[in-house]
Structure 1
């Protein structure tokens, strides 16, 4: 390993609980700043771009997302999870991640026309090819990003991600104003990613150092294959509604779906991305220290739920006035799909946390089988719903499968892996009460509010108050759960 920066930040006396909480808050700040910028830019772009242009960009994002799930061949997850000294593993991890990025980029360049046509947007071919540059860049980001995640060094990650977001938003806004349409989104995205990669390498001290060891290849490949399989299935499950929307309903409908999906992910992505950056590392270190994973998982999941569940309920009940006030009447069809997607996003957060917990306890194959059940149920449900009920049907199909299939199957997988589901159920009670209170209040707001703007304002204040109260009231559960790991 080049340099010793991660070890300096992860001082032994800090304790895992303290490092988790510091990493959690820095990750939350990182995510909030990124999402606020994206939200503001989304409002501007909705006034400058047509739904068809959003649809072209969404097609390219689907392809990029699928490629990113396997391009590092599981090297990043292996680095984060590995017990003891990780330095001997790094040259092999570098080789696998960079070669994987090169292969994935080449595959996309060749297959872009067929992929774009299959997604219902044949005119997106060149944007798909260009956005695939991010896959190549990600091969160089895997190891340095994993090392920062492993050591919970979120301060450095904040610097890199924030700089990339600023460049992305500045370029995207400028190019969109100048009339470059969907290309403004693609160019801004790739430019921001390039800057993030450079900063991750510099801030982690992990410069490319290639090598190959059969032993380490077997370690990364054995564990990574299951991780990659799980990640691909997760990404496919997340991509199904976009693929079905584009192929069944067309590029314009995909543009409406893309905007609704972004809105649905507001509260979810803030919490999910925040926790994802520290969950695997924390659960892995807790397992390594012989800590009580039941208590740690229940505390984390419970506190995440206090923020996510009221937010999801609020977006579902306020979908129509939010789209009308924030984006304008021309985006009204997006509200039809937003309500269902908001509910589905809540279920996905808990499934993501269960996914990281399964990786931490060394059960990636179980996670892959769980994701397969999810996908096999989701595909027919989404296709049938799209043909019968259009955009609204697609949204509610995601909600039904997430709550009735994904969450229960993940709970079963955790039980098989030795995690007591009863502990997780106790952890989820406070969020459920918060969500019920939020829902009751918002029904009254919608019933008596005379305008969409007032509904959004009052609903936002109510939801923010419930989340703040829940966080303050139950924050001690996180301290108690992580104390066993300190």
Structure 2
């Protein structure tokens, strides 16, 4: 069995040290991936027409929904598990790989129905090919979860970089050759296959199958909640895209996809970075007797100090970003971007809250808050799209996220026994940083009228605010993660 399962990280055995090392490599991974994807995305936006992006988006919606429950929560259950995970591995392998095979076959058979239901019947074959990622994901679940559990993000970085290079090189080559949406799909599948292979190699894992009633129960209890909540999060993310495609057509869906992709830039860097260390950090804090309220407040505060100013900046700079980066033909995406940037900030905070509720053992609450959010979003999005078109859709997503989702998540945390006022205190500095950022950008707009200069100035101001906020919160983070909970 790999040393991964037994050895602690060598650099720093304190939880704060393990968290920061894992966070550092996860951030490097995320930033590298985003920059490379962004560069190729700009190239593809100039090579492909919006309708081709719309077809790819249809296939991607199906794949993302399938991946949400593909491993049936085994990865999250493995990360959360307290104690030796080796007896649990055969059960996890069986559920993740067996589930992947079933989901893959179901997707292949139902691809025409799925494509038609999403308003793009011609995307059926794209869906079939992209669903190969479901199979790969089933084999990647266990090695990926083991790396996440022990905060070993350096090894994950190797796998993801190799997969990304394969994906982007193949996608760009095929797009230049004129394959359109097929270039995106083929590159995506090839990259996922490479990542899966490398994960198996760096963790020295091979599938070992078997079932244990005890471990099935654990996966069903916590993994099941993760699956349902993940599906709901995917529906929350892609319901607006589905409604856009059905009501406004493939071209508008292409504009919405671009706006959605751009809106996730600052937030997704943080989200992707944190999702690989968030649940593991909260779970290890619980196992080591750390005050979970203080730990959560510090971690969420450090995340928010980057996400809140970044989201506000993107909302204010939306027209300049779309015009200068993608070109005038994508201008209809600019008005949508501001609303989606605001909504994405709420999604980042919701993801952290979800991990915190799972750690606290409140599986039902983690699902319930997502249900309420989705129930509010769908009718609001349909109504706004019918009355105000694409722009209405973008701001409906933002309104529901701020007015419904955030208060409901606070209620869910209270049900889970988490001290909400402590978390709100952790958001004080990020809120102040956001106000400073917005005021500075509005002042700059009064004197700088060139789009490029305004974009550069806004980026510099935001970066300075985020870095200052991060350094200001480091000591609080160290204290919170390493201090034992008080008994009494």
TM range (shorter): over 0.9
In the other structure, the counterpart of 2:153 is: 154
Cα distance in 1 for residues equivalent to 2:73 and 2:140: 13
- Alignment of 1:289 with 2:294, yes or no, is no
In the other structure, the counterpart of 1:453 is: 452
- Alignment of 1:16 with 2:15, yes or no, is yes
Deviation string, structure 1 residues 54-100 (Cα, Å, up to 9, x no partner)? 11111111101110111111111111000011111100100000011
Q: Displacement, 1:205? A: 1.6
Q: Displacement, 1:110? A: 1.4
Q: In 2, are the aligned partners of 1:113 and 1:125 still within 8 Å (CA)?
A: yes
Cα distance in 2 for residues equivalent to 1:75 and 1:362: 16
Q: In 1, are the aligned partners of 2:174 and 2:183 still within 8 Å (CA)?
A: yes
Q: Displacement, 1:341? A: 0.3
In the other structure, the counterpart of 2:467 is: 468
Cα distance in 1 for residues equivalent to 2:201 and 2:342: 40
Q: In 1, are the aligned partners of 2:68 and 2:231 still within 8 Å (CA)?
A: yes
Cα distance in 2 for residues equivalent to 1:372 and 1:5: 37
- Alignment of 1:114 with 2:113, yes or no, is yes
In the other structure, the counterpart of 1:420 is: 419
In the other structure, the counterpart of 2:277 is: 278
Q: Displacement, 1:359? A: 0.9
Q: Displacement, 1:223? A: 2.3
Q: In 2, are the aligned partners of 1:74 and 1:228 still within 8 Å (CA)?
A: yes
Deviation string, structure 1 residues 263-287 (Cα, Å, up to 9, x no partner)? 1001101111111100101101111
Q: In 2, are the aligned partners of 1:230 and 1:365 still within 8 Å (CA)?
A: no
Q: Displacement, 1:39? A: 0.9
In the other structure, the counterpart of 1:48 is: 47
In the other structure, the counterpart of 1:249 is: 248
Q: Displacement, 1:393? A: 0.9
Deviation string, structure 1 residues 250-269 (Cα, Å, up to 9, x no partner)? 11111111111111001101
In the other structure, the counterpart of 2:392 is: 393
Q: Displacement, 1:355? A: 0.4
Cα distance in 1 for residues equivalent to 2:214 and 2:359: 21
In the other structure, the counterpart of 1:236 is: 235
Cα distance in 2 for residues equivalent to 1:343 and 1:72: 31
Q: In 1, are the aligned partners of 2:71 and 2:96 still within 8 Å (CA)?
A: yes
Deviation string, structure 1 residues 132-163 (Cα, Å, up to 9, x no partner)? 11011100000110011001110100000111
- Structure 1 residues 13, 445: closer, same or farther in 2, change over 3 A? closer
Cα distance in 2 for residues equivalent to 1:12 and 1:209: 31
Q: List, as ranges, runs of 4+ consecutive aligned residues in structure 1 with deviation greater than 4 Å.
A: none
Alignment of 1:206-245 (within 5 A): 206-245=205-244
Deviation string, structure 1 residues 411-456 (Cα, Å, up to 9, x no partner)? 1111111111111111001111111111111122233322221221
Cα distance in 2 for residues equivalent to 1:30 and 1:411: 31
Q: Displacement, 1:11? A: 4.8
Q: In 2, are the aligned partners of 1:168 and 1:191 still within 8 Å (CA)?
A: yes
- Alignment of 1:304 with 2:303, yes or no, is yes
In the other structure, the counterpart of 1:163 is: 162
RMSD: 1.3
Q: In 2, are the aligned partners of 1:160 and 1:199 still within 8 Å (CA)?
A: yes
SS at match of 1:206: coil
- Normalization by structure 2: what TM-score? 0.97
- Structure 1 residues 447, 112: closer, same or farther in 2, change over 3 A? farther
More deviation, 150-159/444-453: 444-453
Q: Displacement, 1:226? A: 1.7
Gaps of 5+ in 2: none
Cα distance in 2 for residues equivalent to 1:200 and 1:51: 35
SS at match of 1:387: helix
Q: In 2, are the aligned partners of 1:17 and 1:485 still within 8 Å (CA)?
A: no
Q: In 1, are the aligned partners of 2:136 and 2:193 still within 8 Å (CA)?
A: yes
Cα distance in 2 for residues equivalent to 1:264 and 1:123: 27
Cα distance in 1 for residues equivalent to 2:247 and 2:477: 45
Cα distance in 2 for residues equivalent to 1:12 and 1:74: 31
Cα distance in 2 for residues equivalent to 1:302 and 1:3: 35
- Structure 1 residues 295, 310: closer, same or farther in 2, change over 3 A? same
Deviation string, structure 1 residues 386-408 (Cα, Å, up to 9, x no partner)? 11111111111111111111111
Q: Displacement, 1:218? A: 2.0
Q: Displacement, 1:485? A: 5.9
Alignment of 1:35-434 (within 5 A): 35-434=34-433
Cα distance in 2 for residues equivalent to 1:332 and 1:6: 51
SS at match of 1:21: helix
Alignment length (residue pairs): 485
SS at match of 1:10: coil
In the other structure, the counterpart of 2:4 is: 5
Cα distance in 2 for residues equivalent to 1:51 and 1:450: 29
- Normalization by structure 1: what TM-score? 0.98
Q: In 2, are the aligned partners of 1:141 and 1:197 still within 8 Å (CA)?
A: yes
SS at match of 2:110: helix
Cα distance in 1 for residues equivalent to 2:4 and 2:365: 35
Q: Displacement, 1:120? A: 1.3
Q: Displacement, 1:178? A: 0.8
Q: In 2, are the aligned partners of 1:9 and 1:153 still within 8 Å (CA)?
A: no
